[in-house]
Amino acid sequence: MPAMATAAKPETTEGAQPRHQAPEVFRYYELAKKQEWQVGDMPWNDLPPIPESKGGEEKHARRRDVWRSVITQQLQADSLAVEMAAQLLELARHHDAKLYYSTMAQDEARHVEAWLRLIDAAGGPTERDPHLDKLAQIFLGLDELEEKVFLMQVFFEKMIISRFRLIARSSRGTVLEDLCNRLTIDDGIHHGSGMAYERVLLREASKKTKDKMIKGAQKMLPIFADHVLWRPKEREFVSSTMRSRDLARVRREIEEGVRIAASLGLDVSDIEYTIP
Footprint of Fe ion on this chain (CB under 5 A)?
78, 81, 108, 111, 157, 187, 190
Q: At what angle do helices 57-91 and 95-122 cross, to 10 degrees?
A: 160
How many CA atoms within 13 Å lie on the side-chain side of 114?
27
For residue 138, give the amino acid letter.
I
Q: What is the nearest approach in angstroms of Fe ion to the Cβ of residue 181?
A: 13
Q: What is the nearest approach in angstroms of Fe ion to the Cβ of residue 122?
A: 18
3-state secondary structure of 241: helix
Q: Which helix (H) or strand (E) holds 119?
A: helix 95-122
Under 8 Å between Cβ of 70 and 167: yes
If the CB atoms of residues 5 and 81 are measured against Fe ion, the closer one turns out to be: 81
Q: What is the nearest approach in angstroms of Fe ion to the Cβ of residue 76?
A: 11
Under 8 Å between Cβ of 24 and 197: yes
If the CB atoms of residues 111 and 212 are measured against Fe ion, the closer one turns out to be: 111
3-state secondary structure of 70: helix
Q: What is the nearest approach in angstroms of Fe ion to the Cβ of residue 112?
A: 8
If the CB atoms of residues 68 and 190 are measured against Fe ion, the closer one turns out to be: 190
If the CB atoms of residues 21 and 153 are measured against Fe ion, the closer one turns out to be: 153
